[in-house]
């Protein structure tokens, strides 16, 4: 009986890696930034779909601490598109009861992007349908470093435990992801949610993120529903 309940449970937190934007554009003979634009439009679509599916938490890997290695034009272009998307879509999603939080390091993001992030994060209190974590300049290793720094500043060494570290992560306000979805065909985490995904169910999809639609979302959630999560037990 218990096992059956575990199987049919819907995920509370779905974490996404928005991967495949560049290839999506290249396949169409478009500049990579066109793929990033379509990818952002798809974040809106999937956030709305999760509200309809009563999922409470979503986190979206949008720019990693390693993505600074890309050509400057692409990095600057991504930041401009993110700034624009936050300004346009933030209020639209807030009207649907979405609240925003930034997951990542603020430095050295440009001021205009930080303002756009703060604008949505400080938005009007929503009905709390969906909390959306924006992983921008996010790195799992950097997050653990930052968490350790803040824990060591406030907690005695012998008091450091998993709860203290969890409470100092960027995601302290969210439960750990139940389902981690990576579209785009790569079978790796790329430094996403290293601590939090310890027991996440993983779903890898060959579909490039801009094409990751509600049907593919339901496929991932249906796969999740069939998994038996043991957490090391039986
Ligand atoms: C977008 O996907 C996610 C970011 C890193 C900004 P990519 O830009 O990595 O797309 P692909 O993997 O090259 O297709
Ligand atoms: C992961 O995608 C980072 C984001 C989606 C923000 P990448 O495209 O950067 O990952 P790798 O380089 O293929 O591992
Ligand atoms: Mg990629």
Residues 75-115: tens digit of each pLDDT: 999 999 999 999 999 999 999 999 999 999 999 999 999 99
| pLDDT band, very low/low/confident/very high, at 123 (cuts 50, 70, 90) | confident
pLDDT band, very low/low/confident/very high, at 4 (cuts 50, 70, 90): very low
pLDDT given for residue 1 in this prediction: 41
User: Closest Cα to atom 8, ligand 1: which residue?
Assistant: 22
Which residues sit opposite 58 in a β-bridge? 14, 132
What residues are paired with 59 via a beta bridge? 15, 133
136 lines ligand 1 (CB under 6 A): no
- Which residue in the list 19, 42, 137, 178 is annotated as catalytic? 19
For residue 189, give both structure tokens: 């985490």
CA distances from 94 to 47, 53, 74, 81, 125 (A): 11, 17, 28, 19, 8
- Tens digit of each residue's pLDDT (9 = 90 or more) over 124-159: 666 789 999 999 999 999 999 999 999 999 999 999
Nearest-atom number in ligand 1 for the CA of 67 is 5
- Give the contacts of 152 (CB within 8 A, at least 6 positions apart): 160
Supply the pLDDT for residue 22: 98
pLDDT beyond 90 at 10: yes
In short, whether 20's Cβ falls inside 6 Å of ligand 1 is yes
- What pLDDT does residue 125 have? 66
Residue 23 beta carbon below 6 angstroms from any ligand 1 atom: yes
Mutate to test the pocket of ligand 2, among 16, 22, 61, 64 (most ligand atoms within 8 A of CB): 64
* 19 classed as catalytic: yes
Does 21 participate in catalysis according to the annotation?
no
Cα 17 to ligand 2 centre (Å): 8
Question: Would you call the peptide bond into 108 cis, given omega within 30 degrees of 0 as the criterion?
Answer: yes
Residue of 67, 118, 129, 146 with catalytic role? 67
Query: Per-residue DSSP letters for the chain?
Result: -HHHHHHHPPPSEEEEE---HHHHHHHTT--HHHHHHHHHHHHHHHHHHHHHTT--EEEEEEEETTGGGS-HHHHHHHHHHHHHHHHHHHHHHHHTTEEEEEES--TTS-HHHHHHHHHHHTSPPP--SEEEEEEEEE-HHHHHHHHHHHHHHHS-GGG--HHHHHTTSTTTTSPPPSEEEE-SS--S-TTSSTTGGGGPEEEE-SS-GGG--HHHHHHHHHHHHH----TT--
* The pLDDT of residue 5 is above 80: no
Average pLDDT over every residue of 24-40 = 98
CA distance 65 to 139: 5
Question: Which of 146, 231, 135 has its CA nearest to residue 191?
Answer: 135
Q: What is the predicted pLDDT for the residue at 165?
A: 97
Instruction: Please give the pLDDT value at position 126.
Output: 66
Least confidently predicted of 2-6, 71-75, 161-165: 2-6
DSSP string across 85-122: HHHHHHHHHHHTTEEEEEES--TTS-HHHHHHHHHHHT
- Ligand 2 atom nearest to CA at 62: 6
Per-residue pLDDT band at 9 (split at 50, 70, 90): confident
Dist. CA 224–CA 9, nearest whole Å: 9
Residue ranges near ligand 3 (ion) with Cβ within 5 Å: 19
What is the pLDDT, as a whole number, of residue 128?
80
Locus of tokens 């003979």: 29
Taken in order of first residue, the domains within the chain and their CATH numbers are 9-139+176-223 (3.40.1180.10)
pLDDT at 31 > cutoff 90: yes
pLDDT of residue 2: 45
Q: Which residues line ligand 2 (CB under 6 A)?
A: 17-19, 61-64, 67, 186, 188, 190
């Amino acid at each position: 009986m218990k096992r059956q309940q575990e199987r049919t449970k819907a995920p509370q937190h779905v974490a996404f890696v928005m991967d495949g934007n560049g290839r999506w554009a290249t396949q169409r003979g478009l500049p990579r930034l066109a793929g990033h634009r379509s990818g952002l439009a798809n974040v809106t679509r999937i956030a709305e779909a999760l509200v309809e599916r009563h999922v409470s938490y979503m986190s979206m890997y949008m720019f990693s601490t390693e993505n600074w290695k890309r050509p400057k034009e692409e990095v600057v272009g991504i930041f401009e598109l993110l700034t624009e998307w936050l300004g346009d879509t933030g209020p639209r999603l807030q009207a649907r009861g979405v609240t925003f939080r930034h997951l990542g390091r603020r430095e050295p993001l440009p001021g205009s992007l930080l303002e756009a992030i703060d604008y949505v994060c400080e938005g009007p209190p929503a009905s709390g349908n969906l909390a959306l974590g924006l992983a921008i300049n996010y790195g799992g290793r950097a997050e653990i470093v930052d968490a350790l720094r803040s824990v060591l500043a406030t907690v005695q060494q012998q008091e450091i435990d998993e709860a203290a570290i969890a409470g100092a992560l960027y995601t302290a306000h969210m439960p750990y992801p139940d389902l981690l979805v990576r579209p785009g065909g790569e079978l790796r985490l790329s430094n996403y949610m290293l601590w939090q995904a310890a027991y996440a169910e993983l779903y890898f999809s060959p579909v490039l993120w801009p094409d990751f639609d509600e049907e593919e979302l339901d496929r991932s959630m249906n796969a999740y529903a069939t998994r038996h999560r043991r957490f090391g037990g039986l």
